[in-house]
Amino acid sequence: MQQRPFKQVDVFTDQAYLGNPLAVVLDGTGLSTEDMQHFARWTNLSETTFVLPPTPDAAAQGADYQVRIFTTAYEMPFAGHPTLGTCHAWLEHGGVPKNPDRVVQECKVGLVRISRANSRAAFAAPALNRKDAAPALVQALADALGLARSKVRASQHLNNGPSHFGLLLDSTDTVLALAPDFSRLRSVMQGAGITGVGVAAVQPETATTGLIVRSNREARAFAGSPSATAPGPTDDPGLEVRFFFDHGNGIGEDPVTGSFNASLAQWLIAQGLAPKRYTASQGTCIGVQGRVHIHQDAGGQVWVGGDAVTCITGTVRL
């Protein structure tokens, strides 16, 4: 064992302890997969990452570092909050990117670009594979979530590395009131090969704006305001999101989920169900205030942005 630089950061928040925590081992050289998995299980966080030098092929393509991402039970090919959190920790630790305007991360899905053009970092959403779902699966998931089938406006299999499932519901209040049967939900997910199920709170499009109308106890957004299509960023939530995932020991609710928000945005924007720029709120029901900032550029690339705050800096013996 040796002392290795370590940080624990909070992601998708600008206030410590109100986002999604991430453990980052900033030097993972010499550690086996088993070593990494054992430590990730010990941290008991949704994800733990290990920073390594990029492989020669990736370095030749501009990669600044390689990251391996572990839940408490398995390695992930890609995840959003570990991407932004690792980038934040690497830069704060003294990492110098090849290009001052962006960081290029190597992970199991390939190379992921992270823009630094603005004060808030944002990663380029990986390519999305999506398909329609069988009605029987939608019904089974709705039943496991304690949800009337009539509340589901749209559904989709979503895969950008992780295999997720998205449900678009009729209102934010419907999402906030969900009371899932976790045992039943896990059974359905395992049968369908799904690692996570996410729900987004929306209301039908209005004829006047063509944008989602959301109405709930916290905020109103996209409700015909001229600012809804303004080019500048907004911190006013336009969607309420919840995400339930299988962490190996059962189903839990994730505070803030970058990979799901990435695939959700690609789906909704492509279908005209969301504007090209919006902010999603996640974690309300478990006491956090996650904010995920989405925008699609002129070339059609969806970017997923979020703040990060360092909570712990030190060394870890591994």
Give the N- to C-terminal CA distance of the chain in Å, as an integer: 5
**Tally of CB atoms within 10 A around 235:** 10
Asked if 201 and 177 touch (Cβ cutoff 8 Å), the reply is no
Q: Pick the catalytic residue: 47, 75, 92, 106?
A: 47
CA 63 – CA 251 distance, rounded (Å)? 34
CA distances from 273 to 134, 214, 276, 278 (A): 21, 12, 10, 12
For residue 91, the one-letter residue type is: L
CA distances from 239 to 10, 16, 173 (A): 21, 22, 11
CA distances from 174 to 16, 143, 147, 239 (A): 28, 14, 8, 12
Taking CB atoms within 8 Å and a gap of at least 24, the contacts of 235-238 are 235/279, 235/291, 235/293, 236/279, 237/279, 237/280, 237/281, 237/291, 238/212, 238/214, 238/274, 238/275, 238/278, 238/279, 238/280
CA 170 – CA 153 distance, rounded (Å)? 6
| 75 part of the active site | no
Q: Give the closest residue to 78 by CA, choosing from 100, 104, 109.
A: 109
CA 49 – CA 80 distance, rounded (Å)? 12
Cross-strand pairs, 158: 130, 164
Q: Find tokens 């996650």 and name the residue.
A: 290
Question: Helix, strand or coil for residue 211?
Answer: coil
The residues assigned a catalytic role are 47
